[in-house]
Amino acid sequence: MTMAAESGIARRLEPVRRLRGKVSLPGDKSISHRMAMLAAIAEGETFIEGYSESADCGATLDCLRRLGVRLQATDSGVHIRGAGKTGLQPSPVMLDAANSGTTIRVLAGILAGQPFETSITGDASLRRRPMRRIIEPLRQMGASVSATDDNLAPLTIRGGALRGITYEPPVASAQVKSCLLLAGLFAEGETTVLEPVPTRDHTERLLRAFGVSVTCRGAARTVSGHSRLQSPGRLRAPGDFSAAAFWLAAGLMVESAELVLEDVGLNPTRTGLLTVLREAGCAIEVVNERLVGGEPIGDLQVNASTLRPSRPLRLAGALTANAIDEVPILAVLGAAFHGAEVSDAGELRVKESDRLALIVRNLRAMGVEVEERADGLTVPGGQRFRGASIETAGDHRIAMAFAVAALVADGPTTLDDAGCVGVSFPNFFTVLEQLRGQGPG
Ligand code: S3P
């Protein structure tokens, strides 16, 4: 199930005239990680249908296996035998979160609750990403954590005997919030995270599905250390909105497109891109909305009658957290339509790559004008994309955003590393081939 994030296979992409068909999406990556981690420390067995086949979610399963969790991945999902809150075992080797920030930061919360020592590392990109944001509060809770330069992976965590704290993270981060709520399950008393702005709430929803009470009062999210987790038996991961976003954009940009995206997760803490599009006059049709396992899902349609943006795409303030992974594709959309203005997105500089810098460099390589700022960018609208060589830096979302730009470029485009899409969407190029092959000519 895993795939090297640094595989470095180049790929040439030709522009397309039409894209037609149903898009099959990977299961939501954020939700899959959390389902597996909670199932691992719950009582009872859990079957997770549609577990993401991404390399990131594969890394989470590998780490859990190393911690003694019995699990089996099949084509339809993952079966996990819960070890209970006290059943994890020390890993004989250092855990490897590969490229996955969610694996290392959220799992660290569980590791901080264990009365044994665990070391966890990741690939070169992950080893450059800031970990102080979880180290500080986990220490306040009583865990001992050491890290390179007190900030970078590998992390060595020795936990147990935690006490609940009230903590306001200096950055808006669902990973930090989730790390602390999971550590809070092992702590004496209550643990409260005060969110500077609301971030994705999958952990809160899933904890409830596992029978844990999570109170949400204003910005405060609180769990109690006495909580027990009971497996709900079966869970289903919705289609990943962040994967759907690339096809929504392709559907809007390619001349003749008719795309249906089924069973897409529509949690409002994730769909900031739809809000930005709507505010710019573009209405993506959402049909068949329903709740599955506490998460809203629906089918999305883009076709000739979908209204395209008629104003600039504006992303700022609290909304930025709800579209944080969609900024690369939003910048591409802005260039093609009426521009994009992104602010309060400084966090993008510490994602899998410095995404703001790479968006700018690659837009410019495609002949697109863009202004870079410390926390965002401005892209004028009505621009054309020139076929170019794209530098992905092994970042899956940069690769997919520019693969979409390549579909409407005036000549062939080469991605220096197409394999990195496997980090979140291993079938991305297979889907592209299917969609471009289904038109009548
Ligand atoms: C994620 C949270 C976000 C997001 C990442 C996945 C999660 O990161 O960018 O892709 O699953 O909690 P931050 O928590 O660092 O904002």
Question: Two tokens at 127?
Answer: 């080893």
Ligand 1 neighbourhood includes 179 CB (under 6 angstroms): no
Task: Tell whether 32 is in a known binding site.
Answer: no
Q: Report d(CA 302, CA 20) in Å as an integer.
A: 10
Distance from Cα 100 to the centre of ligand 1, integer Å: 10
Rounded to an integer, what distance in angstroms lies between the CA atom of residue 180 and that of residue 306?
A: 42
Active site residue 62: no
Q: How far is CA 102 from CA 122, 186, 417, 435, in A?
A: 11, 19, 22, 31
Phi-psi region of 159 (alpha: psi -120 to 50; beta: other; left: phi over 0): beta
| Cα torsion 423, 54, 94, 182: sign | positive
Q: Amino acid identity, residue 189?
A: G
DSSP state of 286: E
* Residue of minimum CA distance from atom 15 in ligand 1: 173
Distance, in Å, from the CA atom of 221 to the CA atom of 214, rounded to the nearest integer, reads 7
Ligand 1 atom 16, closest CA: 173
Phi-psi label, residue 233: left if phi above 0, alpha if psi -120 to 50, beta otherwise? left
Tokens of 390: 């794209």
- What domains lie within the chain, and their CATH numbers? 11-27+238-436 (3.65.10.10), 29-235 (3.65.10.10)
Q: Which listed residue (28, 96, 201, 325) is catalytic?
A: 325
What is the pLDDT at residue 357?
A: 98
Alpha carbons within 13 angstroms on the beta-carbon side of residue 49 total 9
250-303 per-position pLDDT tens digit: 999 999 999 999 999 999 999 999 999 999 999 999 999 999 988 999 999 999
Q: How far apart are CA 143 and CA 162, in angstroms?
A: 6
Distance CA 267, CA 297 (A): 7
Q: How many beta carbons lie within 10 A of that of residue 419, not counting itself? A: 23
What single-letter amino acid sits at 92? P
pLDDT at 251: 98
Q: What is the pLDDT along the chain (441 residues), one digit of tens a residue?
A: 334 444 679 999 999 999 999 998 999 999 999 999 999 999 999 999 999 999 999 999 999 999 999 999 999 999 999 999 999 999 999 999 999 999 999 999 999 999 999 999 999 999 999 999 999 999 999 999 999 999 999 999 999 899 999 999 999 999 999 999 999 999 999 999 999 999 999 999 999 999 999 999 999 999 999 899 999 999 999 999 999 999 999 999 999 999 999 999 999 999 999 999 999 999 999 999 999 988 999 999 999 999 999 999 999 999 999 999 999 999 999 999 999 999 999 999 999 999 999 999 999 999 999 999 999 999 999 999 999 999 999 999 999 999 999 999 999 999 999 999 999 999 999 999 999 995 443
175 is in an annotated binding site: yes
Give the pLDDT of residue 438.
56
> How many whole angstroms separate alpha carbon 264 and alpha carbon 287?
10
Q: State which amino acid sits at residue 274.
A: L
Compute, in angstroms, the gap from residue 321 CA to the centroid of ligand 1.
Answer: 9
Ligand 1 atom with the smallest distance to the CA of 30 is 11
Q: How far is the CA of 173 from the centre of ligand 1 (A)?
A: 6
